[in-house]
Amino acid sequence: MESTVKDINNLIKRRYEELNELTEKGIKPYAYSFDVDSDSEDIKQNYNENEKRNVKIAGRLMAIRRMGKASFAHIMDYKGRVQIYLRKDEIGDQYTAFKLMDIGDVVGVEGYVFKTKTGEISVHVTSLELLSKSLRPLPVAKEVIDEDGNKIVYDQFADKELRYRQRYVDLIVNPEVKEIFVYRSKIITAMRTYLDAEGYLEVETPVLQPLYGGAAAKPFISHHNSLDIDLYLRIADELYLKRLIVGGFNGVYEISKDFRNEGMDRLHNPEFTMMELYVSYKDYNWMMEFVEKMINHICKTVFGTLEFTYGKHQINFEAPWKRISFVEAIEGKTGLNVINATDEELREGAKKLGIEVSSVEGRAKLIDEIFGTVVEPDLIQPTYVIDYPLILSPLAKKHRSKDGLVERFEAYIAGWEICNAFSELNDPIDQRKRFEDQVKLKEAGDEEAHQIDEDFLRAIEYGMPPTAGLGVGIDRLVMLLNNQSSIRDVIFFPQMRPEV
RNA sequence: GGGCGCGUAGCUCAGCGGUAGAGCAUCUGCCUUUUAAGCAGAGGGUCGGUGGUUCGAGACCACCCGCGCUCACCA
């Protein structure tokens, strides 16, 4: 049994010995179930001096204070911690067994609620049962509340690498981590509830795709053995969801993982969560208002406010959000009109801004770089950047009145892109031409240019209604609303190099 | 990929050329309302890895591995 544990040390060895001793006493160290009828929060919130309420609770031992024939301990359940009190003269053999239990063990307890001399609401144990023996020492921090009511934590489990690799431990010993993930879940639920209430249908489309598309990104490649073909993990849901609009759904959305084979940093994880929504007979103007309403709904239902602190910024989500034109924003900062400028002028302009310009850099890349350098960092309050150059947007519909532009917007908050949306291109002839232009870019060395998706073209040749489409980066939204600076802190298991 | 930083006991850290340390955790003894419980004692380390410099290396040098921050890339 012990040989299965690689890094045996004395602490672990000791716990195996305790496990054996417990087994010899006839105690089964891994129980099948325990009837719980209360929790730590319920006990503390519904305390009545005059009533010795009986409760059954279960949780993990997080602190033990033994005083000979009596002991105090804290157990932690899903809701928090509560103190328990055990006496040898009351629980006899169970007290002897308790001596073989450790911090980290999961126990079930029955007892009555009381208040100690020092005023802590606790459970006076009448029965204690081991539910799961913990064989590894938990890196428990000590907590104390000072005179001012501030919580001071000593020796907190802080090593980021260990916290990410062993998230289960992180979640046990750092309760605020759990909170963020609960908010993450609530944010997604609020979004789904809103979309459902608006009458849109949640759907699922392929993760494994023979062609990848819908975004500019490098894919992961996998292989199907029986078909003997390479398949790509999707970089976006877009092209499949639009096929469903062709099929006659009036509004479809999907909340799911996308995969992009690119660098990792505090804003990027190789797999990340995206919500994409497509609504027929609507355009990007409608979508801008929809996004404001949806985000406001999420903020209010989950957090009860539209005011958030992010880093040193105060962010207010109150609609309507500011709107600025992509081209005018750049022109205002640099005097450069990126639509009319020649390639050479763009190149010069970029160089002046300190952007590294390689000779292969295409026009689209240059424009994007310039925008990222001069405009993006200033977009702290929610801002719609609207009407993008056509060459940046091969799937968006041409602007109804402005040449060289498409009807597209991105929402920027705290300097990051939070969502991307457009009036979807539904003209199959134009779409084919855009794909062909992408192929030329690919041939010129742009690894992220689109492939031609003949089946998608066939679909819209049947006729796709006018449609508004949206993509929202869920991880970044969660970061923003929880004041987290790294995407790794809102993903349970962020990508890491394998352990040796 | 570049720059900076980190890796010493289960956890948090000190040590920066001369016998591997502290607090918590663990173990033994005492202790029936404690709460960073207390008191007395004990065990615990290939100092991330491999080479090198040196009489002598956690410490200095080189390379490697892993992580963090940051820049680039990634709309």
Tokens of A189: 């639920």
Residue with the larger pLDDT of the pair A447 and A147 = A447
Residues of A (47-86) placing their beta carbon closer than 7 angstroms to any atom of strand B are 63-70, 72, 83, 85
Q: What Å value separates CA A157 and C1' B21?
A: 21
Residue reference for tokens 């609507």:
A282
Residue A494 and residue A164 in contact, taking contact as beta carbons nearer than 8 Å = yes
Q: Given a cut of 70, is residue A146 above it in pLDDT?
A: no
pLDDT at A2: 33
Residues of A (282-301) placing their beta carbon closer than 7 angstroms to any atom of strand B are none
Say yes or no: Cβ of A40 under 7 A from any atom of strand B: no
A26's CB contacts (< 8 A; 6+ apart) are none
Say yes or no: Cβ of A259 under 7 A from any atom of strand B: no
Alpha carbon distance A482, A476 (integer Å): 10
Q: Given a cut of 90, is residue A105 above it in pLDDT?
A: yes
Does domain A2-132 bear CATH number 3.20.20.140? no
Output the CA–CA distances (angstroms, integers) from residue A58 to A61, A82, A85, A177, A198, in the order listed: 9, 10, 14, 21, 41
Alpha carbon distance A423, A282 (integer Å): 8
Mean pLDDT, to the nearest integer, of A377-392?
91
Residue A259 and residue A235 in contact, taking contact as beta carbons nearer than 8 Å = yes
* Positive/negative CA dihedral, A474, A482, A284, A431: negative
* DSSP E strands, A364-461: 383-386, 408-413, 416-423
Say yes or no: Cβ of A95 under 7 A from any atom of strand B: no
Report the nucleotide nearest the CA of residue A10, measured to C1': B44
Mean pLDDT, to the nearest integer, of A122-142?
92
Report the nucleotide nearest the CA of residue A145, measured to C1': B36
Report percent pLDDT > 90 for chain A. Answer: 70
Mean pLDDT, to the nearest integer, of A118-142?
93
- Highest mean pLDDT, choosing among A252-261, A342-351, A445-454: A252-261
Q: Given a cut of 70, is residue A157 above it in pLDDT?
A: yes
Q: Given a cut of 80, is residue A500 above it in pLDDT?
A: no
pLDDT at A76: 95
Mean pLDDT, to the nearest integer, of A317-327?
94
Say yes or no: Cβ of A358 under 7 A from any atom of strand B: no
Give the lowest-confidence range in A157-161, A346-350, A377-381, A407-411: A346-350
Q: C-alpha dihedral over A163, A165, A167, A168, to 10 degrees?
A: -120
Q: What Å value separates CA A10 and C1' B23?
A: 20
Q: Is the peptide bond before A428 cis (omega within 30 degrees of 0)?
A: no
Output the CA–CA distances (angstroms, integers) from residue A394 to A28, A67, A98, A123, A412, in the order listed: 64, 72, 67, 64, 21
Q: Is A347 helix (H, G, I), strand (E, B) or coil?
A: helix
DSSP A489: G
A170's CB contacts (< 8 A; 6+ apart) are A157, A162, A163, A164, A177
Q: Given a cut of 90, is residue A456 above it in pLDDT?
A: yes
pLDDT at A435: 94
Alpha carbon distance A136, A8 (integer Å): 9
Quick: pLDDT tens for A82-98: 999 999 999 999 999 99
Output the CA–CA distances (angstroms, integers) from residue A98 to A68, A138, A141, in the order listed: 12, 18, 21
* Positive/negative CA dihedral, A352, A358, A362, A367: negative
Quick: pLDDT tens for A210-248: 999 999 888 999 999 999 999 999 999 999 999 999 999
Report the nucleotide nearest the CA of residue A267, measured to C1': B74
Quick: pLDDT tens for A419-431: 999 999 999 999 9
pLDDT at A366: 82
pLDDT category at A348 given cuts 50, 70, 90 is confident
Alpha carbon distance A479, A433 (integer Å): 38
pLDDT category at A1 given cuts 50, 70, 90 is very low
Q: Given a cut of 80, is residue A148 above it in pLDDT?
A: no
Output the CA–CA distances (angstroms, integers) from residue A97 to A64, A92, A386, A426, in the order listed: 14, 9, 68, 72
pLDDT category at A5 given cuts 50, 70, 90 is very low
- The answer to whether A2-132 and A176-321+381-489 have equal CATH topology is no
Output the CA–CA distances (angstroms, integers) from residue A400 to A387, A397, A404, in the order listed: 10, 8, 10
Give the lowest-confidence range in A37-46, A68-77, A140-149, A474-483: A140-149
pLDDT at A149: 66
Nucleotide B44's nearest residue (CA vs C1') is A10
Quick: pLDDT tens for A247-285: 999 999 999 999 998 888 889 999 999 999 999 999 999
Give the residue from A56, A27, A25, A24 showing the smallest Cα distance to A40.
A56
Q: What Å value separates CA A170 and C1' B58?
A: 28
Q: Given a cut of 80, is residue A33 above it in pLDDT?
A: yes
H or E element at residue A66: strand A54-67
Residue A422 forms beta bridges with which residues? A408, A469
Residue A108 and residue A40 in contact, taking contact as beta carbons nearer than 8 Å = no
Residue A238 and residue A213 in contact, taking contact as beta carbons nearer than 8 Å = yes
H or E element at residue A21: helix A10-24
Report percent pLDDT > 70 for chain A. Answer: 95
pLDDT at A106: 97
Tokens of A30: 């891994």
Tell me the pLDDT of chain A averaged across its residues: 91
Residue with the larger pLDDT of the pair A459 and A355 = A459
Q: How far is CA A433 from the centre of its chain?
A: 36
* DSSP E strands, A217-312: 220-224, 229-233, 251-259, 271-280, 307-310
Residue A390 and residue A406 in contact, taking contact as beta carbons nearer than 8 Å = yes
Q: C-alpha dihedral over A172, A173, A177, A181, to 10 degrees?
A: 10
Give me the CATH code for the A176-321+381-489 domain, please. Answer: 3.30.930.10
ipTM for this model: 0.89
Report the nucleotide nearest the CA of residue A142, measured to C1': B36
Say yes or no: Cβ of A11 under 7 A from any atom of strand B: yes
pLDDT at A359: 55
Report the nucleotide nearest the CA of residue A156, measured to C1': B12
Report the nucleotide nearest the CA of residue A101, measured to C1': B26
Mean pLDDT, to the nearest integer, of A363-381?
85
pLDDT category at A141 given cuts 50, 70, 90 is confident
Report the nucleotide nearest the CA of residue A268, measured to C1': B74
Mean pLDDT, to the nearest integer, of A293-317?
94
Say yes or no: Cβ of A497 under 7 A from any atom of strand B: yes
Strand A467-473 and strand A251-259: pairing?
unpaired
Q: Given a cut of 60, is residue A4 above it in pLDDT?
A: no
Say yes or no: Cβ of A149 under 7 A from any atom of strand B: no
Amino acid at A450: H
Degrees to nearest 5, angle at CA A145 with A142 and A146: 120
Q: Given a cut of 70, is residue A358 above it in pLDDT?
A: no
Say yes or no: Cβ of A318 under 7 A from any atom of strand B: no
pLDDT category at A6 given cuts 50, 70, 90 is very low
Q: Given a cut of 90, is residue A415 above it in pLDDT?
A: no
Question: Which nucleotides of chain B have an atom under 7 angstroms from any protein CB?
Answer: 1, 9-13, 23-27, 30-38, 43-45, 65-75
pTM exceeds 0.90: yes
Say yes or no: Cβ of A437 under 7 A from any atom of strand B: no
Residue ranges covered by each domain of chain A: 2-132, 142-173, 176-321+381-489
Residue A238 and residue A215 in contact, taking contact as beta carbons nearer than 8 Å = yes
Report the nucleotide nearest the CA of residue A114, measured to C1': B33
Tokens of A351: 């160089």
Residue with the larger pLDDT of the pair A292 and A361 = A292
Report the nucleotide nearest the CA of residue A152, measured to C1': B36
Give the lowest-confidence range in A101-115, A155-169, A184-198, A230-244: A155-169
